[in-house]
Amino acid sequence: MIAILKRILLLLETYFEEQRVEQRLMKEASTRDNWLDCHTAKMMLRKGDRTLFNYVQAGKLISKKVGGANFYLESSVLDILNRPNSL
């Protein structure tokens, strides 16, 4: 039983460390990159709201919500455009 709890603790620590790294990367990216509004991102990718949401959920697109509006990191939109077979 103790071995199982130790394993769970190790997995949780690993998960939270990955989350901290991801948050740090997003903060670094947000300070040096531009944010696009939802309409601009949709026009660039030629996709709809639901597809953008799916990209965010899959980790392909970085977004943030400010005052009820979604904004997308310009570099992540450009990465999707530049990747072959990503659309």
Give the chain's domain count.
2
Alpha-carbon gap, residue 57 to 46, rounded angstroms: 18
6 and 42 belong to one structural domain: no
Q: Which domain holds residue 50?
A: 34-87
| C-alpha torsion sign, points 43, 47, 48, 49 | negative
Backbone angles phi, psi at 69, to 5 degrees: -110, 140
The pLDDT tens digits of the residues spanning 3-35 come to 999 999 999 999 999 999 888 877 776 677 788
CB atoms within 10 A of CB 85: 4
pTM above 0.75, yes or no: no
Per-residue pLDDT band for 85 (boundaries 50, 70, 90) equals: low
Over 70: is that where the pLDDT of 37 sits?
yes
Whether the per-residue pLDDT at 86 is higher than 70: the answer is no
Is the pLDDT at 87 greater than 60, yes or no?
Answer: no
Taking every pair of Cα atoms in the chain, the longest distance, rounded to a whole number of angstroms, is: 54
Same domain? For 41 and 64 the reply is yes
Does residue 48 share a domain with residue 28? no
Are residue 54 and residue 83 in the same domain, yes or no? yes
Q: Are residues 55 and 83 in the same domain?
A: yes
